[in-house]
């Protein structure tokens, strides 16, 4: 028994030692496996961690929010904002949050719906139906483009404490609504310079004018706020800030632009319904250009439109209806009908007809897109070319019996039998016969070469979208017969645009230097730092300085003694040339003997030219349309205000009639500009640079004395959140310092014209 017990103990001791060895080996293996596993995990994290992380995030909540950029401003030469962008908000309903239950109860639904109905003009039955039918929806937008003032009441209600039935304070339980930020394009002066500015379409793309031409410059880059979020939305977000668009600084002077547009509108009021029931003319256009660098100071045509609502059909009233037709070759063409648009015609239009008429009657800038025969305003170019070629001299004379036989045609002189005239008299009397004889001396080859030198038939590359091409609308020497040469010499039988004519004319009178016309001279970033300065670009010298001097002399004689007398503004000596041209139907290609384009092109002052002005009246609403005096008088009215505004003093003696006329103009402007709202909002400029401000060149505000007369907007309370003054009755907002209407509309800076007391 004892021996058995000893043997059992010996086996037990042997088993314990073996087990310990086995356990030690197994432990070592486990440690080794764990070390390998840890190493593997480290390697996976280092090499493929991002991939696996994305897979995990893809199965969890993820939040992303677009941060919109702000489109750059368009400013005038003195810093007045002609186009700007203001922040607006889209109301977003998150039905999933609104329907969420807390401790088994829907505590957010009814309070939120009640608040929405209280603070917003919504169809609450429709909203309630959507929330009920789409309980998991996170993005429903019933309202867009709300201002801060419109959403501020609701936002305050969201965070406000309420008293429950037990008299205890608690949260409002308004939840499931948020506001998505975006920007809305605003044109503070409404119709001002709409042809130049263009507008934005529904996709925020620039259409026409500067908005389209500089679309990429004005646009920025959206930012984004994004990141992985847990159920409590408590994880860090990553924010990539938006990059705002650049600002463009134009050469346009807002005051000068307003003077031009005021006079175009006045012309229309005086002549509308005079012969037919329609506007005062098919088109009326005016360009004012700095003739020493081709900067465009003002550009306008009538009719225009409000860039804040470019689709408004009311601006079509009085225009001639156009139709889009298919010609014999299968191409689409625009045909002008004999129907003038009134309210009944407007009501009967379908959407396609409306779009065609908006495009062709309103949105296209006549100053760069309209083509027409220039008429006698082309005569200074013919004379300048002949002088440069040396085929004529200023002392040469030409006898005009009233007509000239060219080929099989007897071409009449516009001025009748002019008799014997020298070159200066030929221009002053606007003698067609003299021009035809001069062109015959040049010949077709040289005539066409100089048309090319003056850039007729070529785009000027002005920095505006929509400039027409006229290459197919002028003759090549190989196609020009004797009759074509004769009619071309006095501005008929070839087409131009307004910007072509005035740019070439500037070169004729500034010493011969042809500059590329431009509208923008500086680009800045959102902080105001200059990104690019755009300097005037001289392309070539078209005539010598001596020829240019002669053209200035001849054009002054036109105004002093010839056909342009009606254009001379009181107290100023200017030069210029009138023009009258028949129109051609674009579909039938037949020349009309009753419809004309009349024009005046000039420079001022005569002794030291600083600006050029070009006025075109396309088919005036009168029985006898061949009356260039209409354009000359319109140019005179504009210069009467523009020249004093530019601080150009009178040099000529005033008659009593002229004094009385200036006094009446000053009184008219005083009455007009006493009315609110106030002046534009300069960005970075001095108060005196703002249109109509007391320190500006336009003179002090009538009735204001110090330029800060009490305007109604000055008494409106300032909203602490936006910094704008808010009309308590209408809710309309104004810039706190300058009274610019932030919510659109048109305000009128002061352009009252001071009379030089020394004359």
Q: Is the pLDDT of residue 679 over 60?
A: no
290: pLDDT strictly greater than 60? yes
* pLDDT tens string 147-166: 899 999 999 988 888 776 66
Contact 278, 254 (CB under 8 A): no
Q: Read off the pLDDT of residues 551-607 as tens digits, 9 standing for 90 and up.
A: 999 999 999 999 999 999 999 999 999 999 988 876 566 788 789 999 999 999 999
For residues 49-64, give the mean pLDDT: 54
pLDDT at 335: 84
Instruction: Using DSSP, state whether 266 is helix, strand or coil.
Output: helix
Per DSSP, 80 falls in state B
How many CA atoms lie less than 13 Å away from 345 in the CB half-sphere?
A: 20
Distance of CA 152 to the CA centre of its chain: 32
Say if residue 302's pLDDT is above 60: yes
Report pLDDT for 216: 95
Q: What is the pLDDT of residues 197-221, one digit of tens each?
A: 999 998 889 999 999 999 999 999 9
Taking the C-alpha atoms of residue 657 and residue 231, their distance in angstroms, rounded to an integer, is 84
Span 647-669, pLDDT tens digits: 999 999 888 888 898 888 888 87
Q: Residue 732 in contact with residue 741, Cβ under 8 Å?
A: yes
User: Is pLDDT above 70 for 230?
Assistant: no
What residues have CB less than 8 Å from 278, skipping those under 6 apart? 272, 318, 319, 320, 340, 341, 621
Looking at residue 414, what is its pLDDT? 81
Burial class (CB within 10 angstroms; exposed 0-12, middle 13-18, buried 19+) of 510: buried
73, pLDDT greater than 80: yes
Residue 298, classed as helix, strand or coil, is strand
Share of the chain above pLDDT 90, in %: 60
Residue 700 has pLDDT above 80, yes or no: no
Domain range annotation of the chain? 2-59, 65-250, 653-759
Q: How far is residue 415's CA from residue 411's CA, in Å, rounded to a whole number?
A: 12
Task: Enter the pTM of the model.
Answer: 0.79
Q: How far is CA 434 from the centre of its chain?
A: 43
pLDDT grade for 186, boundaries at 50, 70 and 90: very high
Region 635-647 average pLDDT: 95
Q: Tens of pLDDT along 732-747?
A: 676 665 566 665 443 3
Confidence at residue 551, expressed as pLDDT on a 0 to 100 scale: 97
Residues 8-49: tens digit of each pLDDT: 555 555 557 777 777 777 877 878 888 888 877 777 777 665
Cα–Cα dist 229/236, whole Å:
8
Confidence of residue 396 (pLDDT cuts 50, 70, 90): very high
| Cα 667 from Cα 753, distance rounded (Å) | 9
Residue 726: pLDDT band (50, 70, 90) is confident
Query: For residue 359, what is the DSSP state?
Result: I
The whole-number pLDDT of residue 715 equals: 61
Per DSSP bridges, beta strands 247-250 and 74-75 are parallel
In this prediction, residues 233-256 reach a mean pLDDT of: 86
Query: Strands, DSSP E only, in 260-345?
Result: 281-290, 295-302, 320-326, 332-340
Instruction: Show the CA angle centred on residue 142, arms to residues 141 and 147, nearest 5°.
Output: 90
> What pLDDT, on a 0 to 100 scale, did the predictor assign at position 512?
96
Kindly state the average pLDDT of the residues 686-711: 36
- Assess whether the previous peptide bond of 380 is cis (omega < 30° from 0): no
Does the pLDDT at position 377 exceed 70? yes
pLDDT, tens digit, 9 for 90 and up, residues 533-552? 999 999 999 999 999 999 99
Residue 663 confidence (pLDDT) = 87
Superfamily in which the 65-250 domain is placed by CATH: Penicillin-binding protein 2a (Domain 2) (3.90.1310.10)
CA 224 to CA 64: how far, in whole Å?
Answer: 7
Report the alpha-carbon distance of residue 137 to residue 131 in Å, rounded.
Answer: 8
Better-scored residue on pLDDT, 685 or 361: 361
315 has a pLDDT exceeding 60: yes
Q: What is the rounded distance in angstroms from the CA atom of residue 272 to the CA atom of residue 316?
A: 13
DSSP letters spanning 118-166 = HHS---HHHHHHHHHH-TT---EEEEEEE-HHHHHHHHHHHH-EEE-TT
The C-alpha atoms of residue 466 and residue 209 are separated, in whole angstroms, by: 7
Banded pLDDT at 699 (limits 50, 70, 90): very low
Instruction: Decide if pLDDT at 86 tops 80.
Output: yes
Write the pLDDT tens digit of every residue in 413-471: 988 899 999 999 999 999 999 999 999 999 999 999 999 999 999 999 999 999 999 99
């Amino acid at each position: 028994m004892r021996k058995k017990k000893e043997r059992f103990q010996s086996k037990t001791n042997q088993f314990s030692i073996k087990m310990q060895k086995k356990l030690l080996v197994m432990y070592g293996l486990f440690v080794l496996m764990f070390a390998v596993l840890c190493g593997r995990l480290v390697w996976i994290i280092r090499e493929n961690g991002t991939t696996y992380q994305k897979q995990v995030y893809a199965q969890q909540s993820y939040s992303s929010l677009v941060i919109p950029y702000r489109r750059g401003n368009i400013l005038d030469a003195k810093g007045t904002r002609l186009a700007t962008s203001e922040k607006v908000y889209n109301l977003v309903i998150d039905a999933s949050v609104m329907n969420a239950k807390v401790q088994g109860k829907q505590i957010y639904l009814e309070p939120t719906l009640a608040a929405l109905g209280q603070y917003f003009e919504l169809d609450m039955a429709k909203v309630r139906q959507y929330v009920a039918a789409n309980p998991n929806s996170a993005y429903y937008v019933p309202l867009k483009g709300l201002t801060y003032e419109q959403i501020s009441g609701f936002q305050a209600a969201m965070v406000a404490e309420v008293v429950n039935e037990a008299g205890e304070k608690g949260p409002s339980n308004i939840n499931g609504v948020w506001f998505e930020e975006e920007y809305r394009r605003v044109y503070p002066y409404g119709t001002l310079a709409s042809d130049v500015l263009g507008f934005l379409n529904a996709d925020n793309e620039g259409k026409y004018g500067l908005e389209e031409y500089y679309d990429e410059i004005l646009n920025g880059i959206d930012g984004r706020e994004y990141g992985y979020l847990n159920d409590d939305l408590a994880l860090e977000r990553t924010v990539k800030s938006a990059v705002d668009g650049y600002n463009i600084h134009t050469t346009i002077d807002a005051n000068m632009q307003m003077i031009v547009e005021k006079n175009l509108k006045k012309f229309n009021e005086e002549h509308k319904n005079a012969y037919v029931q329609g506007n005062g003319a098919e088109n009326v256009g005016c360009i004012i250009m700095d003739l020493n660098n081709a900067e465009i100071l003002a550009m306008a045509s009538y009719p225009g439109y409000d860039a804040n609502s470019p689709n408004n059909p009311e601006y079509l009233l009085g225009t001639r209806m156009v139709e889009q037709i298919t010609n014999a070759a299968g191409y689409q063409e625009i045909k002008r009908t004999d129907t003038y648009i009134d309210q009944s015609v407007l009501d009967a239009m379908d959407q396609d007809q409306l779009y065609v008429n908006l495009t062709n009657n309103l949105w296209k800038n006549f100053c760069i897109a309209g083509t027409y025969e220039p008429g006698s305003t082309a005569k200074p170019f013919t004379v300048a070319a002949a002088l440069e070629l040396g085929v004529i001299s200023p002392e040469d004379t030409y006898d005009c019996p009233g007509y000239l036989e060219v080929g099989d045609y007897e071409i009449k002189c516009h001025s009748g039998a002019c008799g014997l005239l020298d070159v200066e008299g030929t221009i002053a009397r606007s003698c067609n016969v003299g021009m035809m004889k001069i062109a015959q001396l040049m010949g077709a080859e040289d005539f066409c070469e100089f048309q090319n030198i003056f850039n007729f038939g070529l785009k000027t590359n002005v920095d505006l979208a929509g400039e027409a091409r006229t290459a197919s609308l002028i003759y090549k020497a190989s196609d020009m017969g004797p009759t074509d040469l004769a009619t071309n010499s006095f501005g008929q039988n070839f087409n131009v645009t307004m910007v072509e004519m005035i740019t070439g004319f500037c070169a004729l009178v500034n010493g011969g230097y042809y500059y590329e016309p431009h509208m923008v001279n500086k680009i800045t970033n959102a902080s105001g730092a200059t990104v690019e300065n755009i300097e005037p670009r001289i392309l070539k010298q078209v005539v010598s300085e001596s020829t240019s001097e002669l053209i200035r002399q001849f054009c002054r004689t036109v105004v002093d003694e010839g056909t342009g007398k009606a254009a001379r503004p009181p107290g100023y000596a200017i030069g210029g040339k009138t023009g009258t041209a028949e129109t051609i139907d674009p579909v039938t290609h037949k020349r009309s003997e009753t419809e004309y384009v009349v024009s005046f092109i000039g420079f001022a002052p005569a002794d030291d030219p600083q600006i050029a002005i070009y006025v075109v009246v396309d088919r005036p609403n009168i029985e006898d349309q061949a009356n260039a005096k209409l354009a000359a008088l319109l140019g005179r009215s504009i210069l009467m205000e523009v020249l004093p505004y530019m601080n150009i003093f009178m040099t000529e003696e005033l008659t009593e009639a002229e004094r009385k006329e200036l006094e009446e103009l000053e009184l008219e402007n005083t009455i007009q500009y006493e009315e609110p709202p106030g002046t534009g909002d300069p960005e970075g400029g001095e108060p005196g640079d703002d249109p109509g401000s007391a320190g500006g060149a336009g003179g002090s505000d009538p009735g204001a004395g110090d330029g800060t007369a009490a305007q109604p907007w000055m008494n409106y309370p300032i909203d602490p959140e936006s910094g704008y003054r808010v009309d308590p009755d209408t809710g309309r907002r104004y810039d706190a310092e300058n009274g610019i209407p932030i919510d659109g509309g048109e305000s009128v800076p002061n352009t009252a014209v001071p009379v030089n007391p020394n004359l």
